[in-house]
Structure 1
Amino acid sequence: MQTGENDQAMRKILDMTRLISMVLLLLHFYVVCYGAFAYWHWVSGLTDRLLLNVGKTGLFNSFLKPKLIALGFLVIALIGVRGKKDEQQTVKVALWYMVTGVVFYFASWFVLLITGHLEAVAIGYMALTGLGFLLFMSGGTMLSKIIRDKLKGDIFNRDQEAFPQEERLLENEFSVNLPARYSYQGKWHRSWINFINLFRALLVLGSPGSGKSYFVIRHVITQHIRKGFAMFVYDFKMPDLAVIAYNTWLKYKDNYKVVPEFYSINFDDLSRTHRCNPLNPSAMLDLTDAVESARTILLGLNREWVKKQGDFFVESPINFLTAIIWYLRKYKDGEFCTLPHVIELMQMDYDSLFTVLGTQQEIDVLINPFISAYKRDAVEQLEGQIASAKITMARVASPSLYFVLSGSEFTLDINNPEAPKIVCMGNNPQKLQVYGAVLSLFTNRLLKIINQKNKLKCSLVFDEFPTLTTDIIPTIATGRSNLIATTLGIQDASQLRKDYGREQADVIMNIVGNMAVGQVSGDTAKSVSEKIGRIMQDRESLSINRSDTSISRSKQLEAAVPASRIAALSSGEFVGMVADNPEEKIELKAFHSEIVNDHAALKQEIDGYLPLPEVRKVSAGIIERNYLQIKQDVRDIIETEMERLLSDPGLSHLVIKKA
């Protein structure tokens, strides 16, 4: 047991050992430089007799023997020294002092070889030896001041924030498996990110350039097509992902029981686009389908309306557009039920428009408030209800959009086992608002059509999902049993909240089962860090006192991946969680790793990609004729219906004529 008395006794012993070392060195000086001491009259008969008796022990039989013994006693004294700890002291400086001291201590012998005055030689020898002795003692004292129990040098705490990850390849007929590597206990380990159940949805988060598409989304596309999935791809920067899907389809289409067809929607390159009617009458079974379509297109064109749903001047335009859509769905069994015909019919004069709409009893409850306002000359109210819809829909009234939306070259039942499809729809960042609204209509209609029993497994891939106004929540929540895998690419949760509102954004963020997150910051990084959870980490603290240092070590739960680490991830470095199946348990669900892409092989593969095929030759004349034909169709509908009503006395009362 260490007490104050023990420390005091130890210090006395060390002082005595050091004193013995000095006495031996002084005796050595007296013997070697006896002539000089005699000249200075520093000798006596008593000291000579004592020295002679000491010499009989053999201490002075060799020149180096007393110096070595003196140095040995000094070393013993230094071993027990406990100097005041100094963080600035280094081993390098201490050793330099000691080595220099030893050199001077023993090299002083050469001074005795100098021919000169006896006194000068003696002084030089003793001074050089003493200097070496003092330097060696100083260096030894410095060693005792060095802090030996220093804390670990991992200033960013990377080693402590590492944790074991799944290193097995767990593959099934639905999985997406990404090779990766991670650092743990100072070594790099190979691992696998196993998304074995994407029917519980995958959320891919990351700021621009973090590698969402290159490291994750492209592999979802290629691996799912290889495994026989029907697929829908929303390509924000057409044709980046569409080309990947097309070339993968060319390579693996023989893997399907029924070879799927490939279709693409591209509003910018009409020669490489197929034509599709999102309001196809065969898929609009009741009025609720028209309501959903109207809501989707108007909210897509007016993103601020998303947060104002329920307001009078938001719901009124939706009801008005619903009435027109459902009227065209019922007229001649939907022959003219297309979005371009809807837009043109909205522009007709109120007398003709309300008269025609009034002939359809199913929409009477929707159109009556507008007719009443019109008859009561409530012009301001009517314009507030209708004009916002007409002005909004006018943004879509372009010949190129009319051309794509008025044809029916394929239907949206992509997971039909008898006619599977791979469909790519492209947006354009420069025309985001208009294209996004139309594509939102496509996706909403598609989601409702495919979410049925006994269909082919299908994969939905949305790059930059917040640019759409799509109600994806029901598909994520219920599509699992219908084998619908959903992948959402998002830059940040704040982007989702901005376009969908906080409540809906939080639901999307929280119901997904799989998550791969690249570099994000702020609240998103904090939320992801909390979802990954905490791990047990070692903690150390250093205490320095006069004579010693002490380190306290403990364990405590800390974030496995702190928000600050997520905000500093490199491109291709992802953190996240995977979901498992009841029959395929994954114990290590969390990951923080670098996804390993074979860049050379991918570049070679990309260089060999074929461009999207040309569907048809399209000229400006064809587009213009289609545009004019739609306008003529709407005029014919109005004229035919007005003539029918006026010629029948039993229906003439339905004709509205404002005085």
Structure 2
Amino acid sequence: MEKDPILMIKFIIVAMSLFLLYVLGMKIIGINSFLFNISQHGFSVVVSPEASFLARLKFLVVGICFGYAELLYILIQFWVIKSLIPPLKTPFNFYKKLIFYPFGLINKQFTGFSLLKGSKKKFQGLTLQTKKRTVQIPNPFRGILVIGGPGAGKSESFAVPFIRELAQKQFSGICYDFKYPALANDIELFYSDSGIKHYVLNFNDSLKSHRCNPLNPKYLPHSAYAREYASAITKNLMKESIKKEDFWSRSATDLLTACIWFLKKEYPKYCDLPHTLALIATNHTDLIALLSSNSETRAMILSLATALESEANSQLAGVVGSLQGAVAQINTPEFMYIFGGEDFDLNINNPDNPIVLTVGNNPSIATTLAPLCSLVISVAAKQLNQRRKHHSFVLLDEFPTVFINDIQTLPNTGRSNKIASMFFCQDLSQLTDGYTKEKADVLFASCLNHFYGQVSSSHTADILSKQFGKKDQYFESNNTSRHFLNPFKRNVGQSRSVQERDVFRNSAFMELPVGEFIGRVAESSEAYIHEKFLPVKRKQLAYQIDSQFKNQPDFVITDYYEKVRDEVNEIISLFKGEINKNESKQDLSRQMNPAPDNSSEEFSGINIIEDEETNSSAELDENERNFKFSSRSL
């Protein structure tokens, strides 16, 4: 019974609202009717040759304005009905987007023009909401480094708010999502209304992923790029080569580089990762012979070509076998299917078609997927870091899990090209282990916006404490004592001193609660920031990312993999056939043009000499006989 007055009040409010809307609607309907009558009466005038251009234009403007007013009136009615019938919320949202779509396009055009051409309106940076205030990062292009142990709140306090801000400011970019689809869902949510398309590489389900070709010939202007991309693969396959390269790892990189460059020069339509790895999986003697047929690739594997010619098969088999064993873990039908197509261009910040790419990893097989993720990010980063392109970002979550060549220099080199570099890691020891101490120090110094959460390593806590230096702290102490001979007499003393103390003790970084971070922002008047950052309140994504992909049978993957192997075998067979054909031509040429036979002349010379000797010996015998006959006669 207590709810009856409340229901009555709601009913009265709704009734009054409907009545007001009815009155307003009647007015609008009257205006539309009046406009319709005018248009009907003046239609003959508009289409007649005697009608002036200004009259036609005036009628067109009035018609559009009143027609749009009618659509807005329907939207208001729809909103009232949606409030009473919740299931109509989805069609209402669709109708609202449809009505305001032209204004959204106009806004995007003006926003993009102002950011690309450099309007007078200054870029305001990124903002983060804390429990007490709003923290602003004026220049995110100077690099952002967030350090915090597991559960410290890095993603909810920084990664997700950054994604929301980047979407609002029309940033293109690439995101490395270590726990796919944790960040991919947020990117899909915030970029759904931005007009920038979102693509994903899902190595967990190849049929629910977009496809790309990072070894497309257009990304390989010269052989140095092929070596960079080959190094991205081999260093993630052979982690020990990150710290120190030996003969085997260098030779493996040379061989992989030669395979990529050979396909680019001789078979550009097959220049992709599946064909490259299938070529490596062939017989090692056939592979080296094939690569030696091109002068450029032969120079890349000169030591292996020499070993083949000198029949040093043990050395040759060792180098090729080490690379074949390493790439076997990524040369699977599921992974190669993703790299066998091209649904989008890795020129991510193309001013004419900016996009956002999410490269997903899986913590269960992170080591296996690291080479593939590194290859895509390496190629995309080189396309990003160029002049006169769309403003972009590189967001790497748990980035020590994937090694990317020269990523430590991206904050410095990408600042002038409007690239916001954002790195997230759990601990400095993890960063050192993944990138060596030298590169970790360079990256730490390159990022000028730092935020530190709870860490569990005392060594890391000591380093973070030193980042804020020391401060002068005032100390005052009071001492009271009684006289030795007269207990009723007291001595009172007071001392004051100024001592240097750490701004933040190392233990402070080990005791921070979830979501609380200490940091320093570049180009800010504040010496440091110590705040509890709030997570973003976001609505649930209306659909799953996987739902945008069509259902395909599993045999599509295996059929493509077998097709690649057949094409590579055909390349080898054609090469062998060419060799056999050349050898047959050489044999036929020898038969048609035999070399002059000098042996007969030699034999004839020997016979002549023998005949002369025979004749001389015969003459000698005859003389002897004559001499003996003469002697008997005497």
Provide TM-score, normalisation by structure 1.
0.67
> Which residue of 2 is the match for residue 46 of structure 1?
none
- Deviations along 1:249-290, whole A, 9 cap, x unmatched? 113x1xxxxx32211000112232100111111111110111
Kindly state the Cα deviation for residue 312 of structure 1 after the two structures are TM-superposed.
Answer: 1.4
Kindly state the Cα deviation for residue 347 of structure 1 after the two structures are TM-superposed.
Answer: 1.6
Q: Within 2, Cα distance between the matches of 1:609 and 1:642? A: 53
Q: Is the 8 A contact 1:179 1:191 kept in 2?
A: yes
Q: Within 2, Cα distance between the matches of 1:557 and 1:650? A: 88
Q: Is the 8 A contact 1:247 1:610 kept in 2?
A: no
For the pair 1:588 / 2:542, whether they are aligned, the reply is: no
SS of match in other structure, 1:571: coil
Question: What letter is aligned with 2:534?
Answer: V
For the pair 1:299 / 2:235, whether they are aligned, the reply is: yes
- Deviations along 1:287-345, whole A, 9 cap, x unmatched? 01110111110111121221112x2122111111111111011123x211111111110
> Which residue of 2 is the match for residue 167 of structure 1?
none
Trace 1:14-163 onto structure 2 (pairs within 5 A): none
Aligned-residue RMSD, C-alpha? 2.1
For the pair 1:354 / 2:288, whether they are aligned, the reply is: yes
Q: 1:413/1:425 Cα in 2 relative to 1: closer, same or farther (>3 Å)?
A: same
Aligned length: 458
SS of match in other structure, 1:554: strand
> Which residue of 2 is the match for residue 475 of structure 1?
410
Q: 1:354/1:560 Cα in 2 relative to 1: closer, same or farther (>3 Å)?
A: same
Q: Within 1, Cα distance between the matches of 2:545 and 2:289? A: 50
User: Where do 5+ consecutive residues of structure 1 fail to align?
Assistant: 1-170, 182-189, 254-258, 581-585, 654-659
For the pair 1:564 / 2:499, whether they are aligned, the reply is: no
Decide which of 417, 435, 440 is 2:374's aligned counterpart. Answer: 440
Q: Is the 8 A contact 1:306 1:501 kept in 2?
A: yes
- Deviations along 1:584-632, whole A, 9 cap, x unmatched? xx2214111111336xx34xx2476754543232322111101101101
Decide which of 130, 149, 160 is 1:180's aligned counterpart. Answer: 130
User: Where do 5+ consecutive residues of structure 2 fail to align?
Assistant: 1-120, 483-489, 588-634
Kindly state the Cα deviation for residue 410 of structure 1 after the two structures are TM-superposed.
Answer: 1.2
> Which residue of 1 is the match for residue 160 of structure 2?
218
Q: 1:481/1:338 Cα in 2 relative to 1: closer, same or farther (>3 Å)?
A: same
- Structure with max Cα Rg: 1
Q: Within 2, Cα distance between the matches of 1:465 and 1:368? A: 36
Kindly state the Cα deviation for residue 465 of structure 1 after the two structures are TM-superposed.
Answer: 0.3
Q: 1:343/1:610 Cα in 2 relative to 1: closer, same or farther (>3 Å)?
A: closer
Decide which of 561, 575, 586 is 2:518's aligned counterpart. Answer: 575
Q: Within 2, Cα distance between the matches of 1:461 and 1:216? A: 11
- Deviations along 1:183-228, whole A, 9 cap, x unmatched? xxxxxxx333221111111001000000000101111111011101
SS of match in other structure, 1:335: helix
Q: Is the 8 A contact 2:285 2:308 kept in 1?
A: no
For the pair 1:231 / 2:173, whether they are aligned, the reply is: yes
Relative to total residues, which structure has the larger helix share, 1 or 2? Answer: 2
Q: 1:565/1:355 Cα in 2 relative to 1: closer, same or farther (>3 Å)?
A: same
Q: Within 2, Cα distance between the matches of 1:608 and 1:640? A: 53
For the pair 1:317 / 2:252, whether they are aligned, the reply is: yes
- Deviations along 1:478-530, whole A, 9 cap, x unmatched? 10000011100100010011111111111111211111110123222222221
> Which residue of 1 is the match for residue 313 of structure 2?
379
Kindly state the Cα deviation for residue 352 of structure 1 after the two structures are TM-superposed.
Answer: 2.1
Q: Is the 8 A contact 1:645 1:652 kept in 2?
A: no
For the pair 1:262 / 2:205, whether they are aligned, the reply is: no
Q: Is the 8 A contact 2:141 2:418 kept in 1?
A: yes
SS of match in other structure, 2:184: helix
Kindly state the Cα deviation for residue 368 of structure 1 after the two structures are TM-superposed.
Answer: 2.0
Q: Is the 8 A contact 1:579 1:589 kept in 2?
A: no
> Which residue of 2 is the match for residue 246 of structure 1?
188
Q: Within 2, Cα distance between the matches of 1:608 and 1:647? A: 63
SS of match in other structure, 2:228: helix
Q: 1:313/1:351 Cα in 2 relative to 1: closer, same or farther (>3 Å)?
A: closer
Kindly state the Cα deviation for residue 652 of structure 1 after the two structures are TM-superposed.
Answer: 7.8
> Which residue of 2 is the match for residue 201 of structure 1?
143
Identity %: 31
- Deviations along 1:524-565, whole A, 9 cap, x unmatched? 222222112223322233423122544433333321111110
Kindly state the Cα deviation for residue 645 of structure 1 after the two structures are TM-superposed.
Answer: 4.1
For the pair 1:514 / 2:449, whether they are aligned, the reply is: yes
Q: Is the 8 A contact 1:528 1:576 kept in 2?
A: no
Q: Is the 8 A contact 2:288 2:308 kept in 1?
A: no
Q: Is the 8 A contact 1:246 1:612 kept in 2?
A: no
Trace 1:547-558 onto structure 2 (pairs within 5 A): 547-558=490-501
